Structure 1
Amino acid sequence: MNTKADNAGHESGRDRRGEPVAGSPAGLDSRSRAGDTKTGAASDQTGRPEPKLTKQRQLILDHLDRVDEFLTAQQLHVTLRNEGETIGLATVYRGLQWLEEAGIVDAIRTEDGEVAYRQCSVAHHHHLICRRCGKAIEVSGEALEEWSRAVAAQYGYTEPEHFVEVYGLCPECSGKPATS
């Protein structure tokens, strides 16, 4: 299940791969960025200002931190507006895209072809997703990890990566108790 301890990555300024997030305290180190002398903003090695974890992006991230399901930009926008936030749909789309590119949130493609997002733990994991209510939990699977390495090696591939989402009905939606 998604816990605060699992989500320490964005609070520490690092993404789920352990890399610094631009605009966060860990992302503003002097080794690779020169500060803008007028604004104090971080810049990349080309001198262009780097995007930061803005107020709107933090608002999006804070909401995703409170839910267990994947949400589309439209669903998140409606929820935020219903909570009284004045944020535009385009801002939600751009914020979610930035958070995904920064490795702070996970994204999946829904049955309708839309992209949905969720705040997840830093460690490599997979998801069990309820087809009915959308509840998602993180799971690890060493057998799957071993299998992917073995298949890659069998065909001469190195550094295999994979993304697995398992869909089904959660205990509440199927009317059966969890067996874990």
Structure 2
Amino acid sequence: MELNEAIRQIKDKGYKTTAKRKDILMFFAEANGYRTAKDLIAYLESLYEGISFDTVYRNLHLFHEVGVLETTELNGEKHFRFSCTPYHHHHFICNDCGKTKELEICPMEEVQRSLGNYAIQDHKFEIYGLCPACQ
């Protein structure tokens, strides 16, 4: 997803695109991979003195809800990134730098076969390790 598309998507859902929201989106547009709320706050503090944690978290969750940001959990902490594609996919995530690589496979067909008559409602599949640059 690119910045202008994210802004349009937020407007289409009936939300305002304030300067702070645009700066939050810019942060993720420039990031290559998942970032934490702490990373975002450090970035925003240089632009907005005394920015509140509530403002940051409220916007992160709003952007996730409207589909602009994807989320994952790494080391017990929620991480966010721009939604990269509108179709079903999974990622390799670097434990060191947070960069991601989209995977072209989904193991769910195999899982559904092995679970037989279980009703699967959702799934999440991620692989963690070190990217070539961080090895």
TM over 0.5: yes
Partner of residue 117, structure 1: 80
Residues 168, 115 of structure 1: alpha-carbon distance in 2 compared, 3 angstrom cutoff: same
Q: 1:155 aligns with which of 117, 122, 130?
A: 117
1:165 maps to 2:126: yes
The alpha carbon displacement at 1:155 in A equals 2.2
Amino acid at match of 2:38: Q
Q: Secondary structure at the match of 1:167?
A: strand
- Residues 47-94 of structure 1: CA deviation (Å, up to 9, x unaligned): xxxxx1431333212211211121111111102223x24543221111
Instruction: Determine if contact 1:57/1:99 at 8 Å carries over to the other structure.
Output: no
Q: Considering only CA atoms, is the larger Rg found in Structure 1 or Structure 2?
A: 1
TM value normalised by structure 1: 0.62
Alignment deviations for residues 124-152 of structure 1 (CA, whole Å, 9 cap, x no partner):
1111111122212222314x132234345
Comparing 126-135 with 52-61, greater Cα deviation is found at 52-61
Partner of 1:10: 6
Q: Which secondary structure does the structure 2 equivalent of 1:79 belong to?
A: helix
Q: What is residue 33 of structure 2 aligned with on the other side?
A: 69
Aligned-pair identity (%):
29
- Root mean square deviation, CA, Å: 2.4
Unaligned runs of 5+ in 2: none
Counterpart position of 1:57: 21
Q: Name structure 1 gaps, 5 residues minimum.
A: 14-20, 29-51, 175-180
Specify which structure has the higher proportion of strand.
Answer: 2
Report the structure, 1 or 2, having the larger helix content: 2
- Which secondary structure does the structure 1 equivalent of 2:92 belong to? strand
SS at match of 2:31: coil
Aligned to 1:81: 45
TM-score, with normalisation over the residues of structure 2? 0.80
